[in-house]
Amino acid sequence: GLNNDWKVLVYSNRCYVLFRGNRNNDFRASGSGKFIFTTEIPDGILDYALNIKNYFKVPHISLDIGYDGNYFHLIEFQFLYFGTTTLEKSPFYFEKQDNDWIIRKEKSCLEEVYVQSIIDYINQQEI
């Protein structure tokens, strides 16, 4: 019964979010081409995404998230290899600083963000 899902890529404390509308006469959003970069996102989705990344203790993760108006639903996740188009084409990203999410209106360089997420991950590990 969902009309869309949300592709969320999380690298360290950054989230790249893409609204994906469902295909015509189909329940799937993946491959629909109905993609929108918007800062108007469901309250709590960024914390939900970051909590999943932290649960798995990985440097970065790709999430497909459904939202029914009350609850978030994890549809799919990947963290070994996943597409990076959402990061590469997004004109902004959300960054968690202290307990607040800040919108950074700038393009990101995949290689820089990827490497920084690995460095942050290594620095967080207990030796």
* pTM of the complete model: 0.90
Structural tokens at position 48: 């939900």
pLDDT band at 82 (very low <50, low <70, confident <90, very high): very high
Sequence-distant (6+) residues with CB within 8 A of 66 are 2, 5, 6, 72, 73, 75
Write down the pLDDT at residue 76: 94
Write down the pLDDT at residue 24: 60
pLDDT band at 26 (very low <50, low <70, confident <90, very high): low
Structural tokens at position 43: 């309250």
Name the residue among 36, 63, 28, 35 with its Cα closest to residue 47. Answer: 63
Rounded Cα–Cα distance for residues 8 and 62 (Å): 6
Write down the pLDDT at residue 36: 82
pLDDT mean across residues, the chain:
91
Write down the pLDDT at residue 31: 60
Structural tokens at position 6: 């949300």
pLDDT band at 64 (very low <50, low <70, confident <90, very high): very high
Write down the pLDDT at residue 125: 81
